[in-house]
Amino acid sequence: QQAAPRQAAPQQAAPRQPASQPPAPQSAAPVEPPPVSPAATSPEPAAFTLLPPPTTAAPETPAPYASFPHLNGAQAACEGLADCWRSPVSSSWRGAASDLQARLEAQGYTLDNVTGEVLSIDSGVRIYAVSKPGEASYYLNLVSVREGVLYTMTAEPMTSDQVLTLQRS
């Protein structure tokens, strides 16, 4: 059985040697593969290079509040506001504001009290501009409410009307 396949191979090789036409296709065949190979290899690295940037950009979207150091007992419970929490406070809302400020600064954030610059009222409310290199800046709005303190993160500082509405809630 092993001898039969060996005989078949020499019979196939014998007709190829006398034919004079195969050398022409052979010379054309080696010319075609080199252009195909670089074209096939070039898109692969480019496509691979394009994939990592979207992967890196995706986690940055939720990042602004992902590591926010919420107050103890805080619950997302604000009517009509996203990124808003209500927390009971044991002492005063000012103590809660100082606690949040200290927690954020410990994470490398810079907080600037801009309450007087953006609001006509300053009783029971504090607004901080929050920033950190490499992250989107935002405003931390703290409002004293009956049950404790309400705080929300927004792209723009809250208006006096918004603060008054929350204080009445």
CA distance 46 to 54: 14
pLDDT at 58 over 50: no
> What pLDDT was estimated at residue 21?
52
**Bigger pLDDT: 88 vs 64:** 88
Domains, the chain: 3-50 (no CATH), 67-168 (3.30.310)
Express each pLDDT in 121-134 by its tens digit. 878 899 999 999 99
pLDDT at 155 over 90: yes
